[in-house]
Structure 1
């Protein structure tokens, strides 16, 4: 299994849930210049991946000032982290994060989650909940990784 920069991010986007694809599609050409896609590949197949944003991502426009604060502090935003359903429960999400951190050992990251069932996964991977945000009446957790 190989962790790599995805040269064709559209290939990663195709494995995402349809609602994520539909959300990203209108923004993709605009965000592509400041977004990197990293994937886990085995036998030429993308099994997992995620996006690293260097500017405010489209899913954080509701809290743009909060997003810009973290970005200005040097954190990169992680979003749309996904493992294909057939490959879940094999630690691929953790492996993806471990490889990303090893690729950028001095880099700090932040992300948000809507599904608090994922709290255990992110805390296990050394992310800390630092605050809760309100997204149109829905609570989201903002997590940071500081190395």
Structure 2
């Protein structure tokens, strides 16, 4: 995409974390030291800085206890878990989410991915980006959908 770059953020993860909603920051920042050796942050940036990105986890991310057994099976098959995918508000509806996923897949063509979302309105987005919806599951008081490539 014109004017946007995709890259792995190897240093200073706080650059990415600071664009996330505060409740998301609360879920990842305190635990990052535990996950940083088994995770990679990939960002999208333009000349103003980081505008979006996400994290690929190679072991279960924080607050995953309810899905731990299932997640282990996916990790054992070689899948990476996509989490904390975020595009800053002013950059939405510009196909940057698709750009991020496509760049990630082209950089790691043999890697397969899975994710969970509670956002039903994202169903079409994940399908058009090559994911399959495997099933839905209940997490406490809400429904989530499992997608994989």
Q: TM-score, normalised by structure 1?
A: 0.95
Could you report, residue by residue, the CA deviation over 1:40-74 in whole angstroms, capped at 9, with x for unpaired residues?
11115001100000101114222100111100011
**2:27 corresponds to:** 23
CA deviation after TM superposition for structure 1 residue 28, in Å = 1.3
**2:106 corresponds to:** 102
What are the within-5 Å matches in structure 2 for residues 21-100 of structure 1? 21-43=25-47, 45-100=49-104
The correspondence for 2:14, drawn from 6, 10, 22, is: 10
Aligned CA RMSD, in angstroms, stands at 1.0
Residues 1:124 and 2:128 aligned together: yes
Q: TM-score, normalised by structure 2?
A: 0.94
CA deviation after TM superposition for structure 1 residue 26, in Å = 2.2
Q: Which runs of 5+ in 1 are unaligned?
A: none
CA deviation after TM superposition for structure 1 residue 138, in Å = 1.3
Would you identify which runs of 4 or more consecutive aligned residues in structure 1 move more than 6 Å?
none
Q: Which runs of 5+ in 2 are unaligned?
A: none
CA–CA distance in structure 2, aligned partners of residues 110 and 40 of structure 1 = 20
Could you report, residue by residue, the CA deviation over 1:3-60 in whole angstroms, capped at 9, with x for unpaired residues?
1001222110100000000111221111111110000111150011000001011142
Number of residue pairs the alignment of both structures matches: 145
3-state DSSP of counterpart to 2:40: strand
